Amino acid sequence: MIARPLENLFVALTLTTVFAPAVAAPVSGQGTWESELKARDINSDGVVDAYYDSALNLTWLADANFAKTSGFVTTSDFGSAYVGSMAWSTANTWAGGLDVFGVTGWRLPVSSMQGLPPGCGSITDTFGCSVTPDPSFSEMAHMYYVTLGNTSSGLTNTGLFQNVQTNLSYDTGTFVQAGRPFAFRFNFSNGSATLAGELAAVPGYAWAVHDGDIAAAVPEPETYALMLMGLGALALAARRRSRYRATAA
Same domain flag for 159 and 182: yes
Q: Where in the sequence is the domain holding 203, given as residue range(s)?
A: 4-218
pTM across the whole model: 0.76
Strands (E), the chain: 37-40, 50-53, 58-61, 129-131, 170-177, 181-187, 192-197, 209-211
Q: Kindly give the parts of the chain with pLDDT less than 50.
A: 1-22, 115, 123-126, 220, 222-227
Same domain flag for 90 and 184: yes
Biggest alpha carbon–alpha carbon distance for the chain: 87
Same domain flag for 181 and 225: no
DSSP single-letter state for residue 48: -
For 56, list phi and psi in degrees, rounded to 5: -100, -5
Range list of H helices, 97-220: 139-141
Nearest-CA neighbor of 48 among 57, 58, 60, 36? 60
Pairing verdict, β 192-197 and 170-177 = unpaired
Same domain flag for 47 and 129: yes
Same domain flag for 241 and 213: no
Same domain flag for 72 and 185: yes
For 138, list phi and psi in degrees, rounded to 5: -145, 125
Q: What is the pLDDT of residue 149?
A: 97
DSSP-based three-state secondary structure for 195 = strand
Same domain flag for 148 and 199: yes
Same domain flag for 233 and 161: no
Same domain flag for 184 and 242: no
Domains identified in the chain, total number: 2
Same domain flag for 11 and 95: yes
